[in-house]
Amino acid sequence: MEQNIVIKIKNLIKRFPVGGNFFTALKDIDLTINKSEFTGLVGPSGSGKTTLLNIIGGLDSPSKGKVSVLDQDLNDTSHRERARLRRENMGFIFQSYNLLPVYTVFENVELPLILNKIDSQERGKKVTQAIEWVGLSDKTNSRPAMLSGGECQRTAIARAIVHQPALVLADEPTANLDAENSHHIMKIMVQLNQELSTSFVFATHDEKIMAYLRRIIHLNDGQITKDEKIDNPKSST
Amino acid sequence: MLFKIAIKNLLGAKLRTWLNVFVTSLSFFMIILFSAMYDGMREHAKQVTINTEIAGGSYWHPKYDPLDPMTFEDAHSVPPIAIKGLVNQGKAFPVLVSQASIYPNGRIMPVIMKGIIPEQNIVNMPTKMLAGHDKIAIPVLIGRSMAKDAKLEVGDTFTIRWLDANRTYDADEGTVVHIMDTENFKLDMGHIWVPLHKAQEMLDMKKEATYVTYTKGLPIVENKGDWIPRDVTYLIRDMEALIEADEPNAAIFYIILLCFAGMGIFNAQVLSIFRRGKEIGTLMALGMTRARVVGLFTLEGGLNALLAAIMTVILFGPLLWYFGANGIWLGMDYSDGSMGLIVEKYLIPVYSVGLVVTTTIVVSIIVLIVSYLPSRRIARMKPTDALRGKVAV
């Protein structure tokens, strides 16, 4: 990996068609995120943070500019290659968990490993370990409908990190959770960041999350307005 | 990998899966049952004709043409010795056919009068009822529809007028000794049946016959004279032609049933797949390629069809078997021949291997197509739209 750089974005512009015109969601974004960073994209609704997260994850494509993730230029990759990049090297955490309702906790967490064709014995070990990390060992056979919001999000975290990806992208992971659960979730992610050296990028406007971030990139109206390093975040304690 | 996920999805979805499977299974059942009923109706008509009229085949007098009553006058002679031998062995029975007129309740009705041996048991007709009526001038057996038409009941008498071998008109009193319930309207409408010896006496055609019907499984005799052997294939050729002419109708009927089934399956599958737009977005976010997403949902459709086939056997199999064994009450009586074909009150469906295999394959293909098309459409969407559940039909 080029000097430990995980994400490198140059002159990114993203436009969406709205009626006969275009709405510019991201304007001239330049950004570099290194390995093991615990970074937040922070800004009000409509500031472009989810759009930026989706482009980093290869779920959306830029209108202009260059986006490179884990040494792969997303401008030049096919849908199939982007899918492989996500499958092998990324984990996603969504605001509404996006767990598959018919699967148990174990099966939801197992899914990325099945997609990566890991053999069943190793799968079992890794899933058990991931479920232990997030403290859901007693809920292994429960379905999402039987879990609380916090437990659902912990399952989503386990699913995002079970294949030990280099990068985890989390879109408003605590938006549907109360304060206690939010802190619990953040502590788990801080621990994973430290133990596995996984880079985390959050899209959030939740103050509780910001306290844990080591780097905060402020977005407003599709532009980066401020990029600050936090000296003593909760994540360092 | 896809198979494992597809199985998990199907078994995990429980009610949704079973509803889809039930709809598909119901389609299998309806198509098979209705098509089998249609086939059964045609097969039944053929079997009834063979059992009540044709048996193993007949030897016809060379001048006999059942479609031309004018030939009846000359179509009679003593059967050749070999054919007579069959009659003597009880393996065949002669029938003497002539035109006649009856006058029931003051009306005149042209009829075909057939003389038959009361003791015959080669065709399924209650001819035994004609025996033992020595005190009656002419004992007559008629069908239920004929009785209804002529307003006759058992014991009623009426005048019969006929032209004998000497071309002399004669008349006498016939008495209804039995009214038969037969599914073969060709034995019923416009027919009166009398004992053979009585017919021969009336027509002055001693030992003569128009045709001789023989039992099933007999080979053609060698010394048959100028009498013409007519096998089952020949005798049911009109019916076969009718059935063949009806093939396009049967095909249209089958296609209509398939369309109904297809619409049901399409609704169930499309609704199921479009409801899962967010799930598809999640799978794509987790790194599943579009091709695999489409493959997964198509495979789920295939497994759905397989489960439906199994469910059809378990759930509807006994019902199909019951109908196959006991028939289905039609609720109407077509024994007067108003359908133009022999239709029983209880219709017995005929399940051919071809019907079951074709239906299974065609319905499975429909399920695969209606699984493939919507999932392909969703998989073509941007993952971000799919994740938001922003799916448009």
Q: Is residue B237 part of a domain?
A: no
Contact A100 B282 (CB under 8 A): yes
Residues B66 and B192 in one domain: yes
CA distance B24 to chain A (A): 21
Q: Which of B168, B191, B226 is the last residue of a domain?
A: B226
Give the pLDDT band (50/70/90) at residue A76: confident
- In sequence order, what DSSP letters do the residues of B150-174 get, joined into one string? HT--TT-EEEEEEE-TTS-EEEEEE
Owning domain of residue A135 = 36-64+77-236
Q: Using the beta-carbon criterion (under 8 Å), do B287 and A86 form an inter-chain contact?
A: yes
Contact A114 B278 (CB under 8 A): no
B340 within a domain of the structure (yes/no):
yes
Last residue of a domain, one of B226, B258, B279: B226
- Tell me which of A138-142, A149-153, B205-209, B384-388 is least confident: B384-388
Which of B5, B282, B289 shows the shortest C-beta gap to A114? Answer: B5
B232 inside domain: no
**Domain range spanning residue B73?**
62-226
Between A3 and B192, the higher pLDDT residue = B192
> In this structure, is residue A168 part of a structural domain?
yes
Residue B56 lies in a domain: no
Residue of A nearest to B383 (CA): A59
Query: Can you tell me the mean pLDDT for A195-222?
Result: 91
pLDDT at res. B320: 92
Whether residue A70 lies inside any domain: the answer is no
Domain's final residue, options B226, B256, B288: B226
A19-32: pLDDT as tens digits: 888 899 999 999 99
Is residue A237 very low, low, confident or very high in pLDDT (cuts 50, 70, 90)?
low
| Range in A36-45, A150-159, B73-82, B264-273 with the lowest mean pLDDT | B264-273
State the smallest CA–CA distance between residue A107 and chain B in angstroms.
9
pLDDT over 70 at B391, yes or no? no
Q: Would you say residue B122 lies in a domain?
A: yes
Are residues B168 and B219 both part of a single domain?
yes
Residue A12 belongs to a domain: no
> Which residues of B sit within 8 Å Cβ distance of A?
1, 4-5, 8-9, 12-14, 278-279, 281-282, 284-291, 382-384, 387
Do B111 and B175 share a domain, yes or no?
yes
- The whole-angstrom distance between B384's CA and the closest CA on chain A is 6
Which residue in the set B4, B278, B290 is minimally distant from A98, CB to CB? B278
Residue A135 CA to residue A133 CA, distance in Å, equals 6
Buried b (16+ CB within 10 A) or exposed e, A109-139: bbbbbbbbebeeeebeebbeebbebbebeeb
pLDDT at B393: 47
Q: Is A121 among the domain residues? A: yes
Q: Let me know whether B125 and B17 are in one domain.
A: no
pLDDT at B128 over 90: yes
**Are both B75 and B220 inside the same structural domain?**
yes
Residue B36 in any domain: the answer is yes
CB distance A191 to A18 below 8 Å: no
What does the alpha-carbon distance between residue A225 and residue A62 come to, in Å, rounded to a whole number? 20
* pLDDT for B343 beyond 60: no
Question: Does residue B382 sit in the same domain as residue B324?
Answer: yes
Higher local confidence (pLDDT), B337 or B33: B33
pLDDT band at B239 (very low <50, low <70, confident <90, very high): confident
What is the count of structural domains for chain A? Answer: 1
> Are B39 and B87 members of one domain?
no
Residue B83 inside a domain? The answer is: yes
| Within a domain: A1 | no
Q: Which helix (H) or strand (E) is B268 found in, with range?
A: helix B247-274
Q: What is the pLDDT of residues B66-125, one digit of tens each?
A: 999 999 999 999 999 999 999 999 999 999 999 999 999 889 999 999 999 999 999 999
Which residues in chain B have Cβ-Cβ distances shorter than 8 Å to A94?
282, 285, 387
Q: How many separate domains does chain B show?
A: 2
pLDDT confidence band for B348 (50 / 70 / 90): confident
In this structure, the answer to whether residues B164 and B248 fall within a common structural domain is: no
Identify whether residues B158 and B33 lie together within a single domain. no
Answer yes or no: is A71 within a domain: no
Question: Is there a domain that residue A135 lies in?
Answer: yes
Same domain as B136, residue B94? yes
Look up the CATH number of the domain holding residue A195. Answer: 3.40.50.300
pLDDT band at B288 (very low <50, low <70, confident <90, very high): very high
Query: Which residues are CB-contacts of A107 (< 8 A; sequence separation ≥ 6)?
Result: A100, B8, B12
The reply to whether A146 touches chain B by the CB within 8 Å rule is no
Say if residue B20 is in the same domain as residue B109: no
Residue with tokens 């209705």: B34
Q: DSSP secondary-structure letter at B69?
A: G
Tell me the residue type at B113: M
- Would residue A191 count as lying in a domain? yes
Same domain (yes/no): B254, B373: yes
ipTM field: 0.90
Tell me how close the Cα of A59 comes to any Cα of chain B, in angstroms.
Answer: 6
